[in-house]
Amino acid sequence: MKLAKKNFFWFVALFLLVSGLGVFIFAQPGQSRIRAYSHGKAAYYNGQVVIVTTNMSYAEFFVLENGYLRRTAVIQPQPDRWSRELNFFDADFNVENGRLYAYTAEGRYFSKYDVSNPDNPILVKSVKDNSWDWFTGVEIFGRYVATVSNKWTKIYNYDLMVIDAYEVKSPHPDNVKFSPNGDQIFQIADGQLKIYNRRDRQVTAARDFLLEDYQKNAIYNDSLNGALYLVDNEGLKKLSLDGRIDKIFYHTSNLGYDAAGTAGSPYVYFSDGIGVVKMNKNTMEPVAWEYTTTAPLDNGWAAGLEAVMTDQGEIIVLFNSSCLAVYDGNLRLLDYFASSEEDLRPAEGLFLKTDKNRSAAGGQIFLRGGGFGIREPLTIKFESSITKIYSDEQGRFNEIITVPVVEKPLATEIKVSGADSRLHYSLGFFIE
């Protein structure tokens, strides 16, 4: 990309902040907010490119069939009354015994799904962390699976049994990566790249880069030449495992995001907000590039990047804010899927209150609550009485309900349940 730098892109970046949890396209007052695509994973299985993204708070699966992108399935997060929020944070693919599996990070849950049929994901196993760890990332390396959290990086076998743990943490998906053989852990945090030796459990190299703390940066470690490729706010940098910078390609954006490649390919790709660039791995010279701020859709911001080798060559998956876009190895657009989901997630913790905690049958109670999804269908169950309502634009509600008739004084509860979020909250009440 050989254009002069423009401050405009920095301005745009501030409004399209990319974090580990996704980005928003901010709308004008009165319009809905749109969740945007910022990261995900891709795999080649049974002649298809399969993609997963967790940017909509749930897990979405896509396949590229005959050059066309199709969404195949959506998985909702598991309900947990005590969790801070219901959300999928990250996912990754792995082929085991000829079947395709997706491992997902869901805050307090770490799960495994059989997605051999991308139209029908099947939950295989799910484990819940009881130490108040908070899973935000998933990585596959060798014959192991790793979760990244706010406390640890834990190593699991395929049966989701913990076999090791390291004090390497990150709130952002992709900011902790493993070398292909699993000997090294690469952590990006506080504007610095740290390289850990898993055997010695020590940092063997550390180097500062021009990185923003609020965003994710995926590093790529080539399995053939052993080089590391990292793109920061200055350019794409090729490093050795001792942290030494060998070569730099200066991009023309003000931000750097992901580097990606495939084993055996002479090319590496990177995203810098304004587009995606194809580079020669060895010479660090650009081979092709594509600007994506207005193509394939407006409000594009190139962040998450995946490269997959197929029988027809490399396929590039770009999480471009306003859409998920798929390109061939020469960065020719194949198809895209536009983001159109409103951000309807709960904006606060659950609560439920009444103006009284006891009353005779036939009395009226003023019930109010919140912490549900925006405009979510709610069910209020009070013994034999069932009331159907909707939450408002803040996920809250106010409702006057009548105390049901019972045969004798009864200690019971009022329960409110969300149809979409699957959240529920109960409050004790005594019917006189």
Q: What is the H or E stretch that residue 12 is in? A: helix 7-15
Q: What is the H or E stretch that residue 270 is in? A: strand 267-271
Pairwise CA distance, residues 128 & 147, whole Å? 12
User: What tens digit of pLDDT does each residue of 11-40 get?
Assistant: 334 333 333 333 444 333 334 456 789 999
**Per-residue pLDDT, 19:** 36
Q: Which residue has the higher pLDDT, 87 or 300?
A: 300
SS3 call for 409: coil
- In this structure, the number of other CB atoms found within 10 A of the CB of residue 380 comes to 19
**Per-residue pLDDT, 14:** 36
Asked if the model's pLDDT at residue 342 lies above 80, the reply is: no
User: What tens digit of pLDDT does each residue of 269-295 get?
Assistant: 999 999 999 999 999 999 999 999 999
Across the range 282-311, mean pLDDT stands at 96
Asked if the model's pLDDT at residue 219 lies above 90, the reply is: yes
User: What tens digit of pLDDT does each residue of 125-137 get?
Assistant: 999 887 778 899 9
Pairwise CA distance, residues 321 & 324, whole Å? 7
46 contacts: CB under 8 Å, gap ≥ 6: 100, 116
Pairwise CA distance, residues 280 & 297, whole Å? 28
Across the range 157-161, mean pLDDT stands at 97
| Average pLDDT over the chain, rounded to an integer | 87
**Per-residue pLDDT, 341:** 61
Task: Kindly report the length of the chain.
Answer: 432
Q: Which domains does the chain have, with CATH numbers?
A: 7-338 (2.130.10.10), 351-431 (2.60.40.1930)
Across the range 163-168, mean pLDDT stands at 94
**Per-residue pLDDT, 28:** 35
Pairwise CA distance, residues 125 & 101, whole Å? 11
Reported pTM: 0.74
